[in-house]
Structure 1
Amino acid sequence: MTEGDRPLIPAEASLSNADAVDGVESGGAVALVAVCGLPGVGKTTVAERIAGHVDGAVLRTDVVRKELFDEPEYSEAETETVYAELIRRARARVDAGSAVVLDATFANARFREDVREAGARVADAFALVEVVCDESVVERRIERRDGISDADFEIHLHFKELFDRIERDHVVVDNSGDEAATFAQVDTAFGGRAAVFGESTAGSDGSTGRDSGERRVESVDTERDSDGMSVASEHGVD
């Protein structure tokens, strides 16, 4: 399948115009979704919610890295290996007829292009979703979290400087609010027919140098703190 054959959705797509995508629903087209963003923003929760809509498995670089390397060094060569393996596994699953949601930082634009190309080759539909979150919220959640990731707030700030601008169409999930708002927005985007497929570049909070065409969706993690906010629990360094 070529990139031009994939279902495309306009930037302001919602459930009301989801019929523009024929068959992109659970039990229909096989989807590949890449969830990207800085460490600590809540990618895993968003990815898991999306996976429920597309009936897919979540593959995480945090997990792949620790399967490949007993003592990860997070070197450039190691990261190349991890992303190559992540995308290889995704391609194999999608090619076999199973939807996949990838949970990774994808800070390097080349990795995002690699997964986009994989989607064009083997998936019926592809979407890139960027998760963002207010920095103060990230810092608080990282202090409270417990999970497989090695990321801390300093790593979040480090990746903020390294994160390549997203030039291609994508959807943005703002994970600064509460869980209900997060899930409602993800459900609006992916519920029923997964209306976001096709990418959109929508307006960012400027935290990572994004452009202004992003489509916004909100999200947070699932463990709640005393203020009713969610506590981050498996945010990725990758």
Structure 2
Amino acid sequence: MSDTARLVVVCGLPGAGKTTVAEAAAERLGATLVRTDAVRKELVAEPTYSSRESQRTYDEVFRRAATRLAAEDSVVLDGTFRRAARRDRARTVAVDAGVPFTLLRVTCDEATAKARIRAREDDESDADAAVYDLLCEEFEPVDDPIVVDNSGDLDATLARVREIL
């Protein structure tokens, strides 16, 4: 068991600013950042976002996290994690590795999120406003998250990440 390694999961809807928060968390902790969007595109040339494809993506994300944690490195996972079962599995990965687990739920108002989605360029995420609406309906309740409200300016968000970690 490492005295310094930990697993941080950054979850939330598209456009909320998960990657911004995850990158700041990874930098703050000197952690490995694993993005579900990037892993999916490594595994599948033309993603369809089917349940099977998502399961394969998350399986690989958890495998990578477990490998890094076993090497006593901290890991930050960046993804929607809209299903409680996936958040629970991440917690289990941390427990199995004997490291602390932190769940960050990134939020922001809908108008800001959709404006960010429309403004994306050269981003690994394929989510658009329709995906936002679908995931908003499907997002299962999060038990006991630490909330990072990313509706305001970047400095406030980064200060919140520093405060938490």
Alignment match, 1:58: 33
Alignment match, 2:80: 105
Cα deviation digits, residues 184-236 of structure 1 (max 9, x gap): 1111111xxxxxxxxxxxxxxxxxxxxxxxxxxxxxxxxxxxxxxxxxxxxxx
Alignment match, 2:137: 161
1:138 to 99, 113, 116: 113
Alignment match, 2:148: 173
* TM-score, structure 1 normalization: 0.67
How far the C-alpha of 1:74 sits from its partner, in A, is 0.5
Q: Secondary structure at the match of 1:131?
A: strand
Work out whether residues 40 and 153 of structure 1, in 8 Å CA contact, stay in contact via their aligned partners in 2: no
Rounded Cα–Cα distance in structure 2 between residues aligned with 1:107 and 1:101: 16
Runs of 4+ in 1 over 3 A off after TM superposition: none
Q: Secondary structure at the match of 2:125?
A: coil
How far the C-alpha of 1:166 sits from its partner, in A, is 1.0
Q: State the superposition RMSD in angstroms.
A: 1.3
Rounded Cα–Cα distance in structure 1 between residues aligned with 2:151 and 2:98: 31
Q: Secondary structure at the match of 1:72?
A: coil
Rounded Cα–Cα distance in structure 1 between residues aligned with 2:155 and 2:14: 22
Alignment match, 1:41: 16
* TM-score, structure 2 normalization: 0.95
Rounded Cα–Cα distance in structure 2 between residues aligned with 1:39 and 1:123: 30
Q: Please state if 1:31 is matched with 2:6.
A: yes
* Higher helix content, 1 or 2: 2
Work out whether residues 148 and 161 of structure 2, in 8 Å CA contact, stay in contact via their aligned partners in 1: yes
Work out whether residues 32 and 123 of structure 1, in 8 Å CA contact, stay in contact via their aligned partners in 2: no
Map 1:64-213 to 2 at 5 A: 64-146=39-121, 147-167=123-143, 169-190=144-165
Work out whether residues 51 and 100 of structure 1, in 8 Å CA contact, stay in contact via their aligned partners in 2: yes
Rounded Cα–Cα distance in structure 2 between residues aligned with 1:29 and 1:148: 30
% of aligned pairs identical? 45
Q: Secondary structure at the match of 2:106?
A: strand
Task: Name the amino acid aligned to 2:45.
Answer: D
Task: Name the amino acid aligned to 1:171.
Answer: I
**Unmatched segments (≥5 aa) in structure 1:** 2-22, 191-238
Rounded Cα–Cα distance in structure 2 between residues aligned with 1:141 and 1:35: 18
Map 1:13-32 to 2 at 5 A: 28-32=3-7
Work out whether residues 14 and 117 of structure 2, in 8 Å CA contact, stay in contact via their aligned partners in 1: no
Give the paired residue count.
164
| Structure showing greater relative contact order (alpha-carbon pairs closer than 8 Å, 6 or more residues apart) | 2
Task: Name the amino acid aligned to 1:151.
Answer: A
